[in-house]
Structure 1
Amino acid sequence: MQSDVIGKLSEIVIDTPDVVGLSAFYRDLAGFEVVRTDDDWVTTTSPEGWKVAFQLAPNLVAPRWPDPAYPQQMHLDFVTADLPAAIERAELLGATRLPGGGETFSVFADPSGHPFCLSRRDGVDGVGLADVMIDSPDGATLARFYAELLGMKSAYEGPEGAMISAGGQPDVCFQNVASYTAPRWPDPAYPQQYHLDVEVADADEGERQVLALGATRLPGGGEDFRVFADPVGHPFCLVW
């Protein structure tokens, strides 16, 4: 079911100790174009029109996939028609092959340690960004929270998780994780790794609505953003 839109997914934000280096990695892998650079932040746009930002986290505790004590929290899924060539390119650019995968997909860590997946899909030119995947102890329930938040529709729900989608926005997927360990913002020992920025027209009304859905207000914020946790602990920001 699609609700009235509370907000729109503005950008996917990735923590890294090297904003320039990691943004360059994804530029060279999947054609991300840099549109803004600051000392602690780089914003890029993918060829599909998604905004992906890189936020400075000097003391980042990187994921150690598949160790549940150092979880990924979120990851990006990429697709390509030529999987062997994409695998070779990812490794040449500095990605590390991780456990998992099969004939149709492979798992890597980017140079900051964040896992990502490369999957085979016919008809894709180069390497394309397919979706953002969010870890959850109950993907279907978390998908319903984000569907309400973003005004998106359920596109899939099954034993491995769920997916929501809407025209003009990235697909957002939710992966069931049995040994899920939540972020504990702002504790650096339990980092967020990623977060989503959600654009709203009215900050106070947006806050009222997300709290009613089950979000929690977190420390932090500024003149144009407020920080919250979703029902399983992933931080996200309302921005305006």
Structure 2
Amino acid sequence: MHHSRLCTLVLDCRVDDLAPAAEFWSRALGKPIASVDQDGDGRYAELQTADDEPIILLQRVAHESRVHLDIETDDIDTEVARLEALGATRIAFCHGRWWVMQAPTGHRFCVVRRQRARFGPHLNAWPA
């Protein structure tokens, strides 16, 4: 058995500087900025959310701006296989840490390792 859940809403932003984007989305959604430069490389900013809400992450990208979601899991390989059985396809394995996938609808999403210390609520348990 493995587990997964909706984890993160990622706002892909084609901008040079995430700070103004973080400020806009912070004010638009009523969520304080948790970090304007999460990893120190200017690629990620995060808004503060409660433990039972999805993480809201802004990501600086080179492609067109869009929104994608991340599914977190305690078994990436098994979750990717489960999603492939539903019709998703693997696009790329990134930084040795997560899979970019594409749904049959054409939407891109990522399968990532567990993101928060507490792995719940709203957790799905999938049989082996």
The TM-score, its normalising length taken from structure 1, stands at 0.40
Give 1:86 deviation, angstroms.
0.9
Change (3 A) 1:180 1:137: farther
**Could you say if the C-alpha distance between residues 157 and 231 of structure 1 is closer, same or farther in structure 2, counting changes exceeding 3 Å?**
farther
Select the residue among 131, 134, 153 that pairs with 2:71: 134
Cα distance in 1, alignment partners of residues 57 and 102 from structure 2 = 19
- Work out whether 1:156 is the aligned partner of 2:92: yes
Tell me how far apart the structure 2 counterparts of residues 115 and 155 of structure 1 sit (CA, whole Å).
23
Larger Rg: 1
Q: Per the alignment, do residues 169 and 114 of structure 1 end up closer, same or farther by CA in structure 2, a change over 3 Å counting?
A: same
Give the 3-state SS of the residue equivalent to 1:107 in structure 2: strand
Give the gaps of 5 or more residues in structure 2: none
Once residues 77 and 163 of structure 1 are traced to their aligned partners in structure 2, the CA distance between those partners, rounded to angstroms, is: 13
Aligned to 1:88: 23
Give unpaired runs (5+ residues) of structure 1. 1-71, 184-190, 194-227, 233-240
Task: State how far apart, in whole Å, the 2-side matches of 1:76 and 1:178 are.
Answer: 12
CA separation of 1:179 and 1:81: change in aligned 2, threshold 3 A: closer
**Could you say what the CA RMSD is over the residues aligned between the two structures, in angstroms?**
3.2
SS in 1 for 2:99: strand
Q: Secondary structure at the match of 2:8?
A: strand
Checking the alignment, whether the CA contact within 8 Å between 1:136 and 1:177 is kept in structure 2 is yes
In structure 2, relative to structure 1, the CA distance for the partners of 1:141 and 1:157 (3 Å cut) is: farther
| Cα distance in 1, alignment partners of residues 113 and 63 from structure 2 | 29
Aligned to 1:106, the other structure's residue is in SS state strand
Q: Take 2:19 and 2:56, find their aligned partners in 1: how far apart are those partners?
A: 16
1:166-177 equivalences under 5 Å are: 166=103, 168-177=105-114
**TM-fit CA distance, 1:167:** 5.4
Alpha-carbon offset, residue 169 of structure 1: 3.2
Match of 1:98 among 25, 30, 34: 34
1:128 CA displacement: 2.2
Report 1 or 2 for greater relative contact order, CA contacts < 8 Å, sequence distance ≥ 6: 2
After superposition, give the CA deviation of every residue in 1:191-216 in whole Å (9 maximum; x if it has no partner).
217xxxxxxxxxxxxxxxxxxxxxxx
Q: Are 1:154 and 1:165, in contact at CA under 8 Å, matched by a contact in 2? A: yes
Q: Identity of paired residues, percent?
A: 16
